[in-house]
Chain A
Amino acid sequence: MDELSLIHGCIEGNQRAQRKLFDSFSPKFFAVCLRYMKNNDEAEDVLQDAMIKVFSKLPEYSKKGSFEGWMRRIVVNTCLDQIRKNQKLKFDAPLEQEEYKLSTNAYIFEKLSADELIKEIQEMPPGYRVVFNMFAIEGFSHQEIAEHLGVAESTSKSQYLRARAYLKERILKIDER
């Protein structure tokens, strides 16, 4: 079943097609939700909402551009909505630029598993977490992030730099354990 007929099947309410779409993409999107939300339960709740949104918005999918990308945007937006609902996103006021010189050795990186990285992301304050995810992993520009979140572009930049410094330090700590 190719992508288009899968989409069609889902729109027509074919349960098998829906199941297949869910099974094919939910592991990817669950990983996304895990990065944005602070624990498994929240991530599953959001994934559920997001997938329901995906199915209900399928008829609106223009069939141009990446289907997965389209769905992923829905998932990310659902995460952002939920975070907004949970609490007002608090961004620290930008301080003077801190400069860290924590050398980052390849071998530290090598042994870090994706799960450990997710855990580190989850432990960050929500402001760091959202901006870091959007910039570093989803690849949004700071301008796009600023528009998405309704903050200044400089806020996005400073949040990102702080998140990065934070993660760097955390990673070194992992290494010392």
Chain B
Amino acid sequence: MKKWKKIAEAYDLRIPESDIERIAPSLDALESAFRPLTKNIPDDVEPAITFRVLPETDE
């Protein structure tokens, strides 16, 4: 499992150690469920986020 405390320190997130201990089981569970899913994403699948460029209009 990931070392959440070290990640928090590296990012300077200033999360108290006791709070990290409290959330670590939830993060570990999510990691177990989510990580295997990422192994099989075809390269051509784009994220489901929309960003539209609209033509300029004269106003």
Q: Do A and B assemble together?
A: no
